[in-house]
Amino acid sequence: MTALWTSGEIVAATGGTLHGDPFEVSGVTFDSREVEHDWLFVAMPGTVADGHDFVPKAFAAGAAAALVAKPVEGPHVLVADVPKALTDLAIEARRRMSGKVLGVTGSVGKTSTKEALYVALERFAKGKVHRSVKSYNNHTGVPLSLARMPRDSEFAVLEMGMNRAGEIAALTRLVRPHVAMITTIASAHIEYLGSMEAIADAKSEIFEGLEPEGIAIIPEDTPYRDRLVKTARRFADRTITFGHGDADVAAIHAVRADKGGSLVTARLMESELTYTIAQRGDHWVTNSLAVLAAVEAVGADLAIAGLALADMGGLKGRGERHRLAIDGGNFMLIDESYNANPASMAATLKALGEERDVVRRIAVLGPMRELGGHADELHAGLAPAVREARVDHLILVGEEMRPLEDALNGAVAVERAANVDEATELLAGLVRPGDAVLVKASNSIGLAKLVERMAGGTEMAFADKGPRT
């Protein structure tokens, strides 16, 4: 197997100096908990902890070497500035890769769409597709994802995120995508950007890094469509829209599939395709159209992409479904705990409302963050989606959710929880066979812990609760 990096290549890329014997590495990480045999550990500085303190742990876990700003015991490359050195590695990784690079951003669905695009391309070019690490999409995560990219990759799918204007511009110039996609525009990060127009402008920065003859992929179903297209045309050789109606890649027909998900017939740039999506919800129909637009843009096989979408499983924290045993039967737990904003809340509540063959619909909802002065209004604005989803019981976590309770005005049975532990206990006492339970909040709320306790410790969670009425 070809090494991901040799010590000589790391030295050449970073301008550092080698200490110890020459080495080769097969992976890169800045998290000592992720270290595998023959990996490079990057000792990033931090406000809470310094990565240099974890170098011994990394070597104990099998690291071949470390990238450091001060001498350590064991093979290492010494540099003046570790974050800059990681960026230098990223630049070199991008330079030596001759395949097609696809960049993904958006207010909602960028990680899910990135993963769907990955599986579509991976089935076409097995073992030759690289993607972003987890949801590492910021000023450290993107360089790490690039530094992990094998030199012989035929495709790379890289996610870019932001909190403020200018951040995606810096990332996209590092990624240099051949295809740049915006999934959607929503009110995430409005606390820092102030308006929806500013959010659209910040997301459209992704087009600034496009390679010559680059392609921009833009959502049709947004009020900011023309604004995005106008910016894209400054940098892109071609612009493709996806969605409904007059979109270049559009859903002609979409119905609920027999086993969940959707059966879709789509009009593409040069053909039509009928395919099944395993994931449930109208938002996944739209995600799939973006994926197919990108697959067609890079010349990959659309039929194979359709098969991959049909087989794609749920993503942890982004729609993964757990069928959990309980006295007298089981219930469905839908894990949407990773993140939340008004658009994604509405979309997942709608999907909950479309669940068939359920006794009751229960939603455990926590706050949406980074909404600034709009927070109360936007939380209260979820009330119509809750009512339309026919939610029978609602567990609201934290004081920030009180505007939603007030807006519902008794239309739904509400339980309040001060924290995740209380929400877990409330849910364990409430749920009964045949229920469908949606769990969703911004990641910082920690509702993933509720999912872990319910899905991983079901016997403990439901012990001695007795019959449920």
Q: Where along the chain do its domains lie?
A: 5-80, 97-311, 320-462
Q: Which CATH superfamily is domain 5-80 in?
A: MurE/MurF, N-terminal domain (3.40.1390.10)
- Residue ranges for the binding site for ATP? 106-112
Distance CA 129, CA 467 (A): 50
pLDDT given for residue 469 in this prediction: 26
Q: How many Cα atoms occupy the beta-carbon half-sphere of 256 within 13 Å?
A: 10
- Residue ranges for the binding site? 106-112
pLDDT given for residue 1 in this prediction: 64
Q: How confident is the model at residue 366 (pLDDT cuts 50, 70, 90)?
A: very high
Select the more confidently predicted residue: 319 or 334.
Answer: 334
Distance CA 160, CA 436 (A): 33
Backbone angles phi, psi at 323, to 5 degrees: -95, 110
CA angle 138, 306, 177 (to 5 degrees): 30
Asked whether the predicted pLDDT for residue 294 surpasses 50, the reply is yes
Asked whether the predicted pLDDT for residue 298 surpasses 60, the reply is yes
Select the more confidently predicted residue: 333 or 316.
Answer: 333
Give the three-state DSSP class for 331.
strand
Q: Which CATH number fits domain 97-311: 3.30.470.20, 3.10.129.10, 3.40.1190.10, 3.60.70.12?
A: 3.40.1190.10
Mean pLDDT over the full length of the chain? 92
Distances (CA, A) of 306 to 129, 161, 312, 367, 438: 17, 27, 10, 35, 27
Token readout for 193 is 């950007």
Residues 138-176: tens digit of each pLDDT: 999 999 999 999 999 999 999 999 989 999 999 999 999
CATH assignment of 320-462?
A: 3.90.190.20
pLDDT given for residue 459 in this prediction: 39
- Contact by Cβ (8 Å): 29, 54: no
Token readout for 238 is 């071609």
Residues 215-267: tens digit of each pLDDT: 999 999 999 999 999 999 999 999 999 999 999 999 999 998 877 789 999 99
Asked whether the predicted pLDDT for residue 457 surpasses 70, the reply is no
